[in-house]
Structure 1
Amino acid sequence: MNALKDQFAALHRPGAPVLLYNIWDAGSARAVAAGGAPALATGSYSLAEANGFPDGEGIPFNLFLDCLRRIARAVDVPVSADFEGGFAVDPVHLTEHAKLLAETGVVGCNFEDQTVGGAGLHSVEGQARRVAAVAASGLYVNARTDLFLKPLFAGGNPNDRTLLSEALERAAAYKEAGAQCFFVPGMSDPELIAETCQRAPLPVNVMMRAGMPDLATLTEAGVARVSWGPVPWSEAMARLTEEARALYA
């Protein structure tokens, strides 16, 4: 795993981002790897929905681990898992869960600071302790802040500059705790993205969605990682539905 983790870490280069077209099972992993992907990453929504469960840690933890185990065994490239909130709140259980996740063969994980199932975010200090608990597993931790995603889902402004100061505070705390990348989903303003990349102490990951700048602009902004979240799953399922509808019409 160490060689694959080093390989994965080396792909995170500001201004030359690694592109992670998110997958959800062994079949989609093989398909995207066959397309030339140097690494893979699951999306929590996609993986849960593919198994009949809602996003937000709705999938049973043991089934989640089994899915990751199958994915990691199916491909030869590094795999990162969307770990959501770690299926636990306290650091002790997070350490146990992260160790089990690492044993599946994945090399990294997304780990978010929202309170899963709640309304807000963990405090900076509390989330830093949680990041440290996950990082102790040896996984490459992509620390996600939901500061910009929460307003997007609430119909507000996901590019509110007043949030940047706290975002940078969180990035620094998460780095100190052992995170190796900083994920800012929701953010879409190219100037705000560029400033985040310049000022954050970690490589920056953004998520593609409607209204996002193109890859050339993100590259120029200094982004180190671009992911697609639930988009590949949603588009694949929409196409399947359209083809079925045409067949049965």
Structure 2
Amino acid sequence: MTTTAQDFHALHAPGQLLILANVWDPGSAVLAQQGGARALATSSAALAWSLGHADGGVLPRQDLLDAIARIQQVNHLPLSVDIEEGYSQDPGMVLSLVQALIELGVVGINLEDGHQPPELLEAKLRALRQALPRSRLFINARIDTYLSGRLPAEALEDDARARMQRYEAAGADGLFLPGLSDLAVARRLADATPLPLNLMSWPGLPGAEALRQAGVRRLSAGAALFKSCYGALLQDMELLHRQGELLDRAQALDYARTNAWMSAARKT
């Protein structure tokens, strides 16, 4: 099945909450689809870690493209890719990367301001939007001030609102505020823009229905699922090396069922 950016846009309609269980490889993509996903999104940290790289803009471009190509071999849903800051400060280089992702069937991206001034993300957004209409790409502009700790708490909301307005004017299709867990603030910021507001699952954040009623239209898991999976894996490995034993995990996947899922998902 071919998916389009229009399909992905439709999942962000007012009154809806799109929940994304972020994936990092073909296996996690298959499981997300079996678990009820309506779309897929990568986590930059999880994908980098799965390839043996640190997070933080150091993943080689070709490694990213190769990883996405492998995911697309088993993916039947709209896919959005987290490209951090675009792996370049040059808007033209960011555009080149995004065009290569679109050739792989990607319909959305996350692009963040990180530790850079908002003017740089604005320039990247304008370059992307000039070349790629909304019908071809959903651009989720990520605002990192709630995660970075660079601003005093009392300045965060006003700064977020200013960045939201800037990125909306530059062509963003969605606005992502990871680290925000105050529902009242989320409601005010959602009311301040016509664009979908995206939050990251976070301690203290209320459940899906409360978020939907507050106007939040997208919820991401970030790297949390990878950390949970690999935390259990590390625990099992330590026990195996220490005692030669493995835990009998009730939630462990069944071999035959998992094999059938992978076989059915593989595109020819």
| TM-score of the pair, normalised by structure 2 | 0.83
Aligned to 2:163: 170
Q: Deviations over 1:185-210 (max 9, x none)?
A: 01101111111111123110000022
Query: Where does the alignment leave 5 or more consecutive residues of structure 2 unmatched?
Result: 244-268
Aligned to 1:48: 48
Asked whether 1:146 is paired with 2:139, we answer no
Cα offset, 1:108, TM superposition: 0.4
Would the aligned equivalents of 2:43 and 2:82 in 1 still touch at CA under 8 Å? yes
Aligned to 1:121: 116
User: Hey, what's the Cα distance between the residues in 2 that align with 1:246 and 1:216?
Assistant: 39
Alignment of 1:228-239 (within 5 A): 228-239=221-232
Aligned to 2:258: none
Alignment of 1:145-224 (within 5 A): 145-151=143-149, 160-224=153-217
Would the aligned equivalents of 1:21 and 1:32 in 2 still touch at CA under 8 Å? yes
Aligned to 1:131: 125
Q: Secondary structure at 1:225's aligned position in 2?
A: strand
Asked whether 1:92 is paired with 2:113, we answer no
User: Hey, what's the Cα distance between the residues in 1 that align with 2:227 and 2:13?
Assistant: 28
Kindly tell me the number of residue pairs found equivalent between the two proteins: 238
Aligned to 1:66: 66
Q: Which amino acid aligns with 1:12?
A: H
In our comparison, the structure showing a higher alpha carbon Rg is: 2
Asked whether 1:244 is paired with 2:237, we answer yes
Would the aligned equivalents of 1:209 and 1:231 in 2 still touch at CA under 8 Å? no
Cα offset, 1:77, TM superposition: 0.4
Would the aligned equivalents of 1:143 and 1:182 in 2 still touch at CA under 8 Å? yes
Would the aligned equivalents of 1:204 and 1:225 in 2 still touch at CA under 8 Å? yes
Q: Deviations over 1:39-95 (max 9, x none)?
A: 000000000000000001222110101111111231110110001011110212122
* Sequence identity percentage: 36
Asked whether 1:37 is paired with 2:37, we answer yes
User: Hey, what's the Cα distance between the residues in 1 that align with 2:194 and 2:215?
Assistant: 13
| TM-score of the pair, normalised by structure 1 | 0.89
Query: Where does the alignment leave 5 or more consecutive residues of structure 1 unmatched?
Result: 115-119
Cα offset, 1:3, TM superposition: 4.7
Alignment of 1:3-22 (within 5 A): 3-22=3-22
Q: Secondary structure at 2:4's aligned position in 1?
A: helix
Q: Deviations over 1:205-242 (max 9, x none)?
A: 00002222222221221100000100000001111222
Cα offset, 1:173, TM superposition: 2.0
Q: Which amino acid aligns with 1:171?
A: M
Q: Secondary structure at 1:13's aligned position in 2?
A: coil
Cα offset, 1:161, TM superposition: 4.3
Would the aligned equivalents of 1:121 and 1:146 in 2 still touch at CA under 8 Å? no
Alignment of 1:91-110 (within 5 A): 91-110=91-110
User: Hey, what's the Cα distance between the residues in 2 that align with 1:66 and 1:12?
Assistant: 28
Q: Deviations over 1:92-129 (max 9, x none)?
A: 21221221121121110000011xxxxx3323x33211
User: Hey, what's the Cα distance between the residues in 1 that align with 2:36 and 2:75?
Assistant: 12
Q: C-alpha root-mean-square deviation of aligned residues, in Å? A: 1.9
